[in-house]
Amino acid sequence: MSARKIPAPPASVENEDFWEACNEGRLMLPRCGDTGQFFWYPRKISPFTLSGNVEKVEAAGTGEIYSYSVMRRADPQYAIGYVRLDEGITMMTNFVDCDFDSLAVGMKVKLAFVEAEGGQKVPCFTPA
């Protein structure tokens, strides 16, 4: 069974640099420059202070599964989930290159970039 093809992320002037870094194999996490807190999803405005003082920090690329669900009704099936990164924020993702029946809450996972339709690399995760 072939894997589900990930659609191209919609373009936004706000996030061009995020996706360029992904194409270079780096997941850049947004961090509020005023408070030092990481946040998700990426944006150019801090959700803690509403300022434009937002830094980018490369993720270690490791974390654990917060929750997940395998879309059994889809063909091909796919696994969507949330990963709690070691940096302390939780992001939506897909789990790839794994037996979906082996997934579990709390499982250690690592970053794996997957090419979406059109060639953009997007951050996914696979068991560590």
8 A C-beta contact, residue 83 and residue 75: no
Binding another protein (rule: CB under 8 A), the pick from 27, 54, 78, 113 is 78
From the list 108, 110, 102, the residue with the least C-alpha distance to 126 is: 110
Residue 66 binding another protein, by CB under 8 A: yes
Residue 12 binding another protein, by CB under 8 A: yes
Whole-angstrom Cα distance, residue 124 to residue 22? 11
Extract the tokens encoding 113.
């970039």
Residue 33 binding another protein, by CB under 8 A: no
- Give exposure, 2-12, as e/b (b: 16+ Cβ within 10 Å): eebebeeeeee
Residue 22 binding another protein, by CB under 8 A: no
Whole-angstrom Cα distance, residue 47 to residue 54? 10
Binding another protein (rule: CB under 8 A), the pick from 74, 108, 110, 128 is 74
Binding another protein (rule: CB under 8 A), the pick from 40, 49, 62, 126 is 40
List alpha helices for 8-48, DSSP H.
Answer: 16-23
**In the complex, minimum distance from the CB of residue 128 to another protein, in angstroms, rounded to a whole number:** 19
Q: Which residues bind another protein (CB under 8 A)?
A: 4, 6-10, 12, 14-15, 19, 37-43, 47-48, 66-74, 78, 80-82, 84, 88-94, 105-106, 116, 122
